[in-house]
Amino acid sequence: MSTLETTRAELGLVVLYLNKAEARDKICRAIQYGSKFLSDGQPGTAQNVDKSTSLARKVFRLFKFVNDLHALISPVPKGTPLPLVLLGKSKNALLSTFLFLDQIVWLGRTGIYKDKERAELLGRISLFCWMGSSVCTSLVEVGELGRLSASIKKLEKEIGNKDKHQNEQYRAKLEKSNERSLALIKAGMDVVVAFGLLQLAPKKVTPRVTGAFGFASSLISCYQLLPSHPKSKTV
pLDDT in tens, 143-188: 999 999 999 999 888 887 787 878 888 889 999 999 999 999 999 9
In a domain, 29, yes or no: yes
Q: What are the two backbone dihedrals, phi and then psi, of residue 207, each rounded to the nearest 5 degrees?
A: -55, -35
Rounded distance, CA 151 to CA 68, Å? 28
Distance of alpha carbon 181 from alpha carbon 189, whole angstroms: 13
93 contacts: CB under 8 Å, gap ≥ 6: 68, 72
Q: Is 189 part of a structural domain of the chain? A: no
Cβ atoms < 10 Å from Cβ of 58: 18
Does residue 169 form part of some domain? no
Instruction: Say yes or no to pLDDT of 231 above 70.
Output: no
**What are the pLDDT digits (tens) for 65-83?**
999 999 999 999 898 999 9
Q: What is the pLDDT of residues 86-142, one digit of tens each?
A: 999 999 999 999 999 999 999 998 889 888 899 999 999 999 999 999 999 999 999
Residue 141 within any structural domain of the chain: no
What is the span of the domain harbouring residue 18? 1-60+202-230
> Does residue 171 belong to any structural domain of this protein?
no
Q: How many domains does the chain have?
A: 1
Asked if residue 30 belongs to a domain, the reply is yes
pLDDT in tens, 200-228: 999 999 999 999 999 999 999 999 998 76
Q: Evaluate whether residue 83 is within a structural domain.
A: no
Report yes or no: 200 and 165 within 8 Å, Cβ to Cβ: no
3-state per-residue secondary structure call for the chain:
CHHHHHHHHHHHHHHHHHCCHHHHHHHHHHHHHHHHHHHCCCCCHHHHHHHHHHHHHHHHCCCCHHHHHHHHHCCCCCCCCHHHHHHHHHHHHHHHHHHHHHHHHHHHHCCCCCCHHHHHHHHHHHHHHHHHHHHHHHHHHHHHHHHHHHHHHHHHHHHCCCCHHHCHHHHHHHHHHHHHHHHHHHHHHHHHHHHHHCCCCCCCCCHHHHHHHHHHHHHHHHHHCCCHHHHHHHC
- Cα torsion 50, 56, 58, 59 to 10°: value is -170
Residue 232 has pLDDT above 80, yes or no: no
Domain assignment of residue 43, yes or no: yes
